[in-house]
Amino acid sequence: MVAPKRHAVEAFAGDLRRLVSSASANGGDVARIVKRTAGRAPSRSTIYQALGGKHFPEPGTLTAIVDACRIAALENKAGGDGGRFDRQLWLNRRHRIAIGVDTEDSSDAGTSSGSTDSKGYSWEVFHDGMSVWVGTGALGKPDSHLIKLHIHRDTFFSYEELALAIYSEQFFEVPGEYELARLRAILDGKPEPKPVSVLRVVVRDAKGVTLRALQAEFTYKPVTDEQLVAFAKDQQRENDLERRALDRKVQRYAQFIGDDDADGLP
């Protein structure tokens, strides 16, 4: 039996953690939902070990985590019908890692498994139907284009990994950036920015054939007075910290100039 590759297990756990985050949940939430909904539920420690990359999850543990994330997303109004909650997609990827094959094969990817060129890909991110980010790369090689999306990895070994990483990062970042921009606009007395309602991530092969497509729809609640007050306080703290840091720089510069003047005295 082939042991799963360590880097693939850790990457798998990292993407599971991002799935949990995208559902506006944490490990404890997942464990509670699993216990509540699953028949023979895995233990809390088993779930934490899977999310932490300590142990490669069994299929039952994996599906329990993915299903719990979907339920958490629905309960938290974070969108529970996206492709990222497709348990079969996760099980397929787990199977490939379990047998030591952590790259897409020809039947799954729609490309041959011969040369490195056959593993080339392109990816594209759409906000409300408008293309906002694009990049190209190849499986198993660093993709420098991913830096602009603030993704912590630049090398992927399957199209599923790549698509899920881009999707998870955007799923969290897009509404988060909008909420901050909206709060700033309200405090400054300016019109609220236009929100992104639909996110779509597409991964294609070197010939332009779509291999993976994930989509999410966002809804935004009205801003409350409590949110505005909390945000204003946070902004004030940041401004105070910046002002104190600037004051210290000015004082050090003044001291430096004073020392130079003293050195020039007869």
Q: How far apart are CA 203 and CA 160, in angstroms?
A: 9
Sheet holding 130-138, edge to edge: 130-138, 120-127, 198-205, 210-217
Residue 42 pLDDT: 82
Residue 198 pLDDT: 92
The 10s digit of each residue's pLDDT in 59-81 is 888 988 888 888 888 887 766 55
Percent share of the chain, pLDDT over 70:
83
Please state the φ and ψ torsions of residue 210, each to the nearest 5 degrees.
-70, 125
Residue 3 pLDDT: 63
pLDDT band per the 50, 70, 90 thresholds, residue 201: very high
CA angle (13, 9, 151) in 5-degree steps: 55
Tell which wins on pLDDT, 235 or 197.
197
